[in-house]
Structure 1
Amino acid sequence: MIFLLGLLTGCATHVPMTTTTPPAATISYLALGDSYTIGEGAPEAGRWPVQLAALAQAQGLPLGQPTIIARTGWTTAELQEAIREANLHQPYGLVSLLIGVNNQYRRQSLAQYQQEFRALLATAVAFAGGQPRHVVVLSIPDWGQTPFAAAHDQAQIAQEINQFNQAAHEECQRAGVAFVDITPLTRAAAGDASQVVADGLHYTPAQMRQWAQRALPVVQQQLR
């Protein structure tokens, strides 16, 4: 962040000193993930990374609109491949990562997820200019608490989501990356139709706003 100081003085008469502070430079933001990051079924403005940027700006933190690399159905491996194909180059001031629900849904092993998540985390840190403090990870929502999961074993889903989240948390601790636990928010939304979109699986802007609100103080601390 660069601040310029302007000083104007006169020779024969005194001219009051004036200072001008230009707007702070925009912090570039890269959001990586799957359907939760693109907000499947919700308007673009309702996506949690977009809401995070808006909340940050309202608090005086000039976080830019996110560049989003995400698609419904992606696993960790598919996200990593998409990142390579995107051919991104610039370092970003903030990188967020929310990934893993499709690994669990497709019955991929916990060991595979942890290995691939570790690689993605290293990729995220690299995109953050090698600064782990400029990366934030959100936990996997518990889709077992949505109407879509009514015919599934909800207890098993919750147990596996917990295991995947624990693995991600451990990797974040090793890497020095912030981990924001939003899973309880999605579990608290169980039975509330206003928290899910028409497909009965993905979340409304109101629910995703809670994720952004939970991530905001962590991001503020990281970037200031």
Structure 2
Amino acid sequence: MAINKIIQILVLNFFLACTQPNMIENPKADASKYSFLSLGDSYTIGERVSEADRWSVQLAGLLRKYGLDIANPDIIARTGWTTAELQDAIKASGNQKTYDLVSLLIGVNNQYRGQSQERYRTEFRELLQTATKFAGGKTAHVLVLSIPDWGVSPFAAGQNKASIAQAIDQFNAIANEECGKLGIAYIDITPLSRSASGDETQFASDGLHYSGKQMKQWAEKALATAKESLQK
């Protein structure tokens, strides 16, 4: 990775960590039948995209088209967060609500920073427990999205894409296994992210994060599972 790219992303992540709130709360949530909490990192906060383009906001919109009165999500997410940082932020938020639907998408920064898979497994397992608590103890109301592959992004030009893909797959295998143990839905969006390779319209302006066009596909992939969850 070119040094200037590393500096740019580190500065961006530091700036965002200092300016973005831990929690984005939807003030209109109480007016809807169903509530939604979305947990994660840059892929959930929608780095460099509009609020309407965030994948979980798009998912809420799709659910409403099917007659399910769900509010746009409360969001606890920030660019650069690892599993541990997300858990710390959840605790710091003081959020004691319960939700009808809870999503979790986390892990790319664990992989990017070279953290161990063993650590990821332990911390991811704890986040699944936290997500289930937010869902009122109902694992059927929790859904997990796999980690997208940043190695196909323009930002990763010149990187060992095969190595990045292999690492992402290993982290995702852990998430899938841990979800399976608890009966939590696991939605594999990684192939969708890889299909974006070579299509700049599917990436945000920084060339690293995904655009609303790509995240719409994630929402569509999660739609059937989310519908089933809310109707249980």
Question: One fold, TM greater than 0.5?
Answer: yes
The 1-side partners of 2:205 and 2:95 are apart by 33
1:37-116 equivalences in 2 (<5 Å): 37-116=44-123
TM-score (norm 1): 0.88
SS at match of 1:30: strand
- Whether the 8 Å CA contact 2:32–2:71 is kept in 1: the answer is no
State the Cα distance separating 1:170 from its structure 2 match.
0.3
Q: Give the whole-Å Cα distance in 2 for the aligned partners of 1:101 and 1:80.
A: 15
**How large is the Cα RMSD of the aligned pairs?**
1.0
Question: Which residues of 2 match residues 193-204 of structure 1 at below 5 A?
Answer: 193-204=200-211
Q: Which runs of 5+ in 1 are unaligned?
A: 1-23
1: CA distance, partners of 2:144 / 2:59: 13
Question: 1:148-187 alignment to 2 at 5 Å?
Answer: 148-187=155-194
Distance 1:63 1:176 in 2: 23
Matched letter for residue 136 of structure 1: L
Confirm or deny: 8 A CA contact 2:37 2:101 kept in the other structure: yes
Match for residue 128 of structure 1? 135
Identity of aligned residues (%): 59
Q: Shift of residue 63 of structure 1?
A: 1.6
Q: Is the 8 A contact 2:37 2:73 kept in 1?
A: yes
Alignment-mate amino acid for residue 200 of structure 1: G
Highest Rg: 1 or 2? 1
Measure, in 2, the Cα distance between the counterparts of 1:28 and 1:67.
8
Partner SS state of residue 208, structure 2: coil
Q: In 2, distance between residues paired with 1:117 and 1:151?
A: 30
Which residue number corresponds to residue 36 of structure 1? 43
Contact 2:33/2:69 (8 A) holds in 1: yes
1:75-120 deviation per Cα after TM superposition (whole angstroms, max 9, x unaligned): 0000000000000111110100000000000000011101100000
More helix by share: 2
d(CA) in 2 for partners of 1:180 and 1:26? 24
Q: In structure 2, how many angstroms separate the alpha carbons of the residues matched to 1:44 and 1:162?
A: 29
Letter in 2 for 1:89: Q
In 2, Cα distance between the equivalents of 1:163 and 1:121? 18
Alpha-carbon distance in 2 for matches of 1:213, 1:25: 21
Task: Answer whether contact 2:34 2:99 (CA < 8 A) is retained.
Answer: yes
Preserved CA contact (<8 Å) 2:34 2:71 = yes
CA distance in 1, matches of 2:195, 2:202: 10
Q: Secondary structure at the match of 2:167?
A: helix
Cα-to-partner distance string for 1:173-224 (whole Å, 9 max, x where unaligned): 0011000000000001100011001110111111000000000001111111
